[in-house]
Amino acid sequence: MGTVQAVKAGFNGLRGVFLHLAEEHGEVGSLMKRVRKSSDPQFRREHFPQIRAELLSHERAELSTVYPMLSHYEETRELVVLHNQEARQLESAIEALDALDAATPAWADAFEHLFVLVEQHVAEEENQIFLRAQAAIGEEEAVALLPRFEAAKKAAKHELHSS
């Protein structure tokens, strides 16, 4: 699924970090769809930690590398504010799931809420934000930003696993 997402993003002209982010969206989206369809609490317990780690490390790495860069450009500054609000909503939705038992209907409802938030967030980033962001910073900077994003994501994952 991530490869399909990346091919689509590549056709849309995305490069570097933006192409990589679209690929990650596809990968976590695919896993989320599998969990969403399952009513098996053990399946949910087994796969939600990976979804949680992927979403949180992805967002935290974006917040520390991609969006600060975009705040320097007039044409993307309001996108940074919007993204930061959505990132807080995603973290809150994940915290709500953390507090629930995966065997309950409340967990399924909370996961559905997270699923919808992620779908909306991804659509907004891939159809609006990334295109404008790449136009603002240029392809060369989009490519140069990728290793910084990957390092920040790795550090965020390490922090998540340590806590």
In angstroms, the CA 3 to CA 71 distance is: 29
DSSP conformation letters of 72-108: TSGGGHHHHHHHHHHHHHHHHHHHHHHTS-TTSHHHH
Specify whether the CB–CB gap between 148 and 32 falls below 8 A.
no
In angstroms, the CA 151 to CA 104 distance is: 37
- What share of the chain in percent tops pLDDT 70? 93
Q: Which residues constitute the domain of residue 70?
A: 2-162
In angstroms, the CA 161 to CA 163 distance is: 6
Confidence of residue 161 (pLDDT cuts 50, 70, 90): confident
* Segment 81-98, tens digit of pLDDT: 999 999 999 999 999 999
* Segment 1-21, tens digit of pLDDT: 444 454 454 546 899 999 999
* Segment 27-58, tens digit of pLDDT: 999 999 999 999 999 999 999 999 999 999 99
Number of domains in the chain: 1
Specify whether the CB–CB gap between 60 and 152 falls below 8 A.
yes
